[in-house]
Amino acid sequence: MIRFGTAGWRGIISDEFTFSNVRLVSQAIANYIARERPPGKGIVVGYDTRFLSERFAGECARVISNHRIPVFLTDRDAPTPALAAAIIRKEAQAGINFTASHNPPEYSGLKLSTNKGAAALPEVTEQIEREIRKLETHPPTFYYLDETLIEELSPQEAYLSLLKNTVRVDRLNSNLKIAVDTLWGTARDYLDRFLIDNGCTVEVIHNFRDPYFGGYGPEATEVTLQDLKQLVVSKKFNLGVSTDGDADRFGIIDSDGTYITPNQTLALVLDYLIQDRNWKGSVARSVATTHLIDAIAKKHNLPVLVTPVGFKYLAELFLEQKIILGCEESAGLSVQGHLPEKDGILTCVLVAEMVATRGTSLKEQLDQLYRTYGYRVSTRKSYKYTEQLGKRVQDLIQHPPKTFGGKQVVEMNTMDGLKMILEDGSWVLCRISGTEQVVRVYAESDIEETLARLMKSSEALLAQ
């Protein structure tokens, strides 16, 4: 069955993700738009660099236009944040993005955004799913009578101009040497171009389309960024930056080749923006994100809001103007005045600005961060989903243990899986992923040995 998870509908190409199913989902969205009539002037349709993405997007555009709904179809693959910006700029009714983000190459996906540029919440996608069920019972016949309603859209210039509203480009200069890895994805000619146009010395790798993403999944991790690491070290760059396949997530390499984790990057950027911009207001993070965010916010007397995993929940807080920064440990971040969508390009550029402004390496900045707010180390592990494992997770949510890893459980959070906060401040979260067929375990502590013990205890708990 076609289901919308944490970030839309995803499936394996030619298995579940087929042209017939794309037509079905596109028809369901068109029916929803025609019925609900959200304010706007059409629908923005875009796509990433995956196999057949442009064909899926074109087919979707034709189905939508057949309902006399104007379509703005991107002229090439485009970053997710650039599409969010285009939805807002074109005053569109919605946005449809054909992307599976960081999933492996065999996957494709469809992500629905509202007229605000934010990912649609469950109350919307559940209506789409009900519409799909109706259409499956009575399959429609597709006629493409008029394609004049499809207009080509280039979102690049408007998006790059938007970045300048948040980034202090006057801090960037030719002394800042940056290596860029676009991982065969949509950020090419966006991230590298912005840095070059604003004076940085840049070398870019993997800046061409490859639907196989070099044989890896297009996720900017320590494993996939080995070429970037080698380039940074061999040519003595100040920094290495990368984005995932649809450019809404980031990856950071320090000048000595050290991979800076997403949680570390989020904490560094929050601390920098508070101190440099003197921002005041609430901060939000997902339930799976480092508590370093809480420590930084507490030090500056800023409230912290916690959401389930999925940037769409953080987006609502941006739209309600309740937060100055929202982040999640899976390399997602945005800030006030930008977009209600996570933006890997923005994060990379903010890190570049931070390095240029502070004049020290990220490791040096991280050491100072730990001295100020306390040391935290975190990790996560994925287990292949099975019905038995899924049932075990549900059982744990219903009947959580009172002790874990030899420590008392002092607080529990079940907004998304089961999160157990222990007496020493360490914590463990177990949840079923909404984007992949896996169960994820997250953990954090102020002692690495404790973290290892927590992960071992988690594995044993799931195996029971």
Share of the chain above pLDDT 70, in %: 99
Q: Three-state DSSP class for 224? A: coil
Q: Are residues 218 and 350 in the same domain?
A: yes
User: Is the domain of 211 the same as that of 316?
Assistant: yes
Q: How confident is the model at residue 28 (pLDDT cuts 50, 70, 90)?
A: very high
Which of 373, 408, 442 is at the close of a domain? 373
Residue 173 shares a structural domain with residue 241: yes
- Identify whether 431 is part of a domain: yes
Q: State whether 141 and 222 are in the same domain.
A: no
Contact residues for 463 (Cβ-Cβ < 8 A; gap 6+): none
Q: Are 215 and 265 in contact (CB under 8 A)?
A: no
Q: How many CB atoms lie within 10 A of CB 158?
A: 15
* Single residue among 157, 179, 212 that ends a domain in this structure: 157
Residue 280: CB atoms within 10 Å:
10
Q: Is residue 345 part of a domain?
A: yes
Residue 3 lies in a domain: no
Task: Give per-residue pLDDT as tens, 374-393.
Answer: 999 999 999 999 999 999 99
Range of the domain at 416: 379-463
Three-point CA angle 37, 42, 44, nearest 5°:
125
State the chain's mean pLDDT as an integer. 95
- Evaluate whether residue 1 is within a structural domain: no
| Beta bridge pairs of residue 11 | 108
Question: For residue 4, is it within any domain?
Answer: no
As a whole number, mean pLDDT of residues 342-349 equals 98
- Based on the structure, what is the number of domains in the chain? 3
151 shares a domain with 101: yes
Name the pLDDT band for 216 (thresholds 50, 70, 90): confident
pLDDT tens digits along 399-410? 999 999 999 999
Same domain, 182 and 92: no
Side chain identity at residue 88, one-letter code = I
- Judged against a pLDDT cut of 70, whether residue 210 lies above it is answered with yes
Distance, in Å, from the CA atom of 143 to the CA atom of 305, rounded to the nearest integer, reads 48
Instruction: Please indicate, yes or no, if residue 47 is contained in any of the structural domains.
Output: yes
Residue 2 lies inside a defined structural domain of this protein: no
Mean pLDDT of 5-29: 92
333/205 same-domain check: yes
Q: Are residues 340 and 443 in the same domain?
A: no
Q: Kindly state whether residues 270 and 204 are assigned to the same domain.
A: yes
Tokens of residue 359, six digits: 């004049």
- Point out the domain boundary residue: 127, 157, 187: 157
Q: Are residues 47 and 196 in the same domain?
A: no
Place of tokens 């799931």: 462
Q: What average pLDDT does this structure show over 89-97?
A: 97
Report the chain's C-alpha Rg in angstroms.
22
Do 194 and 178 lie in a common domain?
A: yes
Q: Where residue 439 sits, what CATH number does that domain have?
A: 3.30.310.50
Give the Cα separation of 200 and 202 in Å (integer). Answer: 6
pLDDT in tens, 296-344: 999 999 999 999 999 999 999 999 999 999 999 999 999 999 999 999 9
Task: Indicate the pTM of the whole model.
Answer: 0.95
The Cα 320–Cα 194 span in angstroms is 29
Predicted local confidence at residue 145, as pLDDT: 67
86 and 34 share a domain? yes
Please report, for the domain that includes residue 235, its CATH number: 3.40.120.10
